[in-house]
A and B are shown apart, each in its own frame.
Chain A
Amino acid sequence: MLFVHETTPGGFLLVLAVILPVCAVLAIIACGPRSATRIAMATLAAGLAVAIAVAAELASSGRAVTYVVGGWHPPLGIALRADGLSGAMLVMTALVIVAVGLFAGGQHRLHAGAGDARTQTTFWLMLLALWSALNATFLGEDLFSLYVALELLTFAAVPLVCLDGRAETVKAALRYLVFALVGSLLYLLGVGLIYGQYGALDLLTLSGQARPDPALSVALALMIVGLLAKAALFPLHLWLPPAHAGAPAPASAVLSALVIKAPVFLILRLVLDVAPQPSAAVVGQLLAVLGAVSILFCSVLALRQARLKLMIAYSTVAQIGYLFIVFPLAAGSAELPPWGTIAWTGGALQLISHALAKAAMFLAAGVIAEAFGHDRIADIGGFGRMLPLSAAAFGLAGLSLMGIPPSGGFVAKCLLLTAAVIEGYPWLAATILTGGLLAGAYVFRVINQALAVPAAPIVVRNKVPRRLEFAALGLAIAAVLLGFVPLRPFGFLQIGRDGLAMAFSP
């Protein structure tokens, strides 16, 4: 039996999630820069409502939401599909983008009339384009439309890196673009090989047909390596720190929190849904080794950074490592599918809590840079007195990165640690614990400075409106609230996954 997509009630919401931001981009281009902020703000509200509506539809119906575009069924047509994990991603993306949008709106008002109206319009255009591409990646069911979504994501993310147009950020953006291009071309080559072998691009169809054969192994290897370059896993992380640290604060927040999550999400789908069992296990082990090296190596590098934003960027590479040690832990078994394991829930929670915490951290760092005109950790002693809300946001987000309760990061790391012990991976358990300690060390460096009493009080160059600080604090509190999710496989994340099981059994 071939699994066929059927449009479900509420399916049109998925289309809205993808095209609303695109319509806003067109409207901004048509109406000119004057109305850019207003249109963007309205779209932020509407997009958040759509994401919540999709999640509500998933929760109430208990099965995946699907839309078959134009009524053309795969293999000729393409389908959009949201299962529990995609739904969670949509809501997380919407939350981060709304907070970043509020922050950027406040920051732009601070610089109004400084002659960078064009930069601000570009920021809104790219933010909205990026949102559409992210939603398309989370909802896509077709390997080729996923390629297009990934490329759109890159094209929106690269200009965000070099918004200020300084030579070093343009350089970082170019480096990022070359890495991302090679990554997506390798992915495209894999798509071609898979189509040549199976004559299908639809993920559900493929998951039913995939069998161990060399063409599929080569294709998946190419695709996963390509996606790793985009996800910045060690040793392909070289482009990330300069790109993420050089971008303006709201741009760094979306880049670090959301953009690198899209390729990780795709790797997760490829390994769990498409890869046939024996090779999936080998790939899982390899990814876990790279993830573990990423955690240890980049946490140590984060400790040695003198600049706050570079430190946060290295911490991103380290935290991405946790997402890759999920693979061997969530391999599942004959009785227990991958999405029923605690590691699956832990991995998904880590993805979401890292996005919220990292965006909060970058926004707090943005407030600090805005207030003092620099972000050298050594010279911001006592900033907690001037910017108590930002210091609190940084600390709360830090709880999540370290994995200290109560926080989303704690639940995620606790689940992963339990899974590592149960499944018999002591070296992964040790890595998780060491990574937590190192994260504690680099977060403490900053908190220590926040509470320090410097010999000469630091000078606040610009007064920062409270609204900016509240955006960071809101995200940090959301990351902490995630810690109150019950400690067991979380039902919402499993919605719609049994559709795949159906595809397996003819």
Chain B
Amino acid sequence: MTAVLQPGVLFGLCGAVLVGIGLFAIATSPVLLRRIVGCNILGVGIFLVFGAVARRGGGAGLEADPVPQALVITGIVVAFSASALAVALLKRLSELSAGDRAGTAAPAEPRSVV
């Protein structure tokens, strides 16, 4: 039991659970917003796994391994951009379909989405 409670292992297990929840949400939910949230949960789980990996570097005599932490920071930036892009697209999609429902035709002029 105490082996499980060590920070490295605990982080790893939590990360694994979050990865599972994220994948489950993405695979089973037909709602796009939920899938995007699922991607975020999956990402957080992966960053926790990186944290566990950094902690295991501590086992090799170091205080903690800084490289995975640097990777996580970059990863967070990338994941944030991905979520922003996904939400922007989703917002545009819901505007377009709302326009259709209100009886007004979708914009005939080609428009940029970015």
A residues sitting closer than 8 Å to B (CB atoms) are 75-76, 115-116, 118-119, 121-122, 126, 144, 147-148, 151, 154-155, 158-159, 162-167, 170-171, 173-174, 177-178, 181-182, 185, 188-189, 191-193, 195-196, 199
Contacts and interface: CB of A to CB of B under 8 A. Distances in A.
Given A167-B106, A182-B26, A195-B71, 14 more contacts: A116-B112, A118-B111, A119-B110, A147-B78, A159-B114, A165-B92, A165-B111, A167-B93, A167-B97, A177-B85, A178-B86, A181-B39, A196-B56, A199-B65
B82 A170 contact: no
A75 B50 CA distance: 17
B109 A116 contact: yes
Contact of A192 (B57, B68, B74, B109): B68
Contact of A178 (B32, B46, B107): B32
Given A148-B78, A177-B85, A188-B46, A182 B39 contact: yes
The prevalent SS among residues of A at the interface is helix
A144 B86 contact: no
Contacts of A155: 81-82, 85
Given A170-B93, A192-B50, A196-B53, A165 B26 contact: no
Interface residues of B, number: 43
A151 B78 contact: yes
10 contacts: A116-B112, A144-B71, A148-B78, A151-B82, A170-B113, A174-B93, A177-B82, A178-B26, A185-B39, A192-B49
B108 to A, nearest CB: 10
B95 to A, nearest CB: 9
Interface in B36-78: 36, 39, 42-43, 46, 49-50, 52-53, 56-57, 65, 67-68, 71, 74-75, 78
Contacts of A121: 112
Interface of B: 19, 22-23, 26, 32, 35-36, 39, 42-43, 46, 49-50, 52-53, 56-57, 65, 67-68, 71, 74-75, 78, 81-82, 85-86, 89-90, 92-93, 96-97, 100, 106-107, 109-114
A170 B111 CA distance: 11
Contact of B49 (A116, A158, A193): A193
Contact of A181 (B49, B71, B86): B86
A196 B112 contact: no
Contacts of B96: 165-167, 170
Contact of A195 (B22, B68, B114): B68
